[in-house]
């Protein structure tokens, strides 16, 4: 499954990352930021995937502007 990482600038296109790559990066970090272009269903699948592996996962929307569409998803994956 591919997910889109949060954009680094407002006009940039989001970069894609494979679920397996997220799992590899867990050794270095536990917080990931995903773009609003990801569907809620995809993020639920991400949460279920890591919970089945024994991780605790917490997700929330982070607003970075006043517009309703200015948000990203913050996902904490903890062993």
pTM of the model: 0.90
CA nearest 61: which of 48, 47, 75, 51?
A: 75
CB neighbourhood size of 32 (10 A): 19
Residue 19 pLDDT > 90, yes or no?
A: yes
Instruction: Check residue 54 and give left, alpha or beta (phi > 0: left; psi -120 to 50: alpha).
Output: left
Where are the chain's structural domains? 2-7+15-78
pLDDT digits (tens, 9 = 90+) for 28-61: 999 999 999 999 999 999 999 999 999 999 999 9
């Amino acid at each position: 499954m591919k997910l889109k990482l949060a954009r680094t600038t407002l006009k940039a296109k989001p970069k894609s990352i494979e679920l397996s790559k997220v799992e590899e990066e867990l050794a270095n970090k536990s917080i990931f930021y995903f773009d609003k272009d990801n569907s809620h269903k995809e993020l639920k699948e991400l949460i279920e995937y890591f919970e089945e592996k024994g991780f605790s996962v917490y997700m929330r929307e982070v607003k970075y502007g006043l517009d309703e569409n200015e948000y990203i998803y913050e996902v904490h994956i903890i062993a």
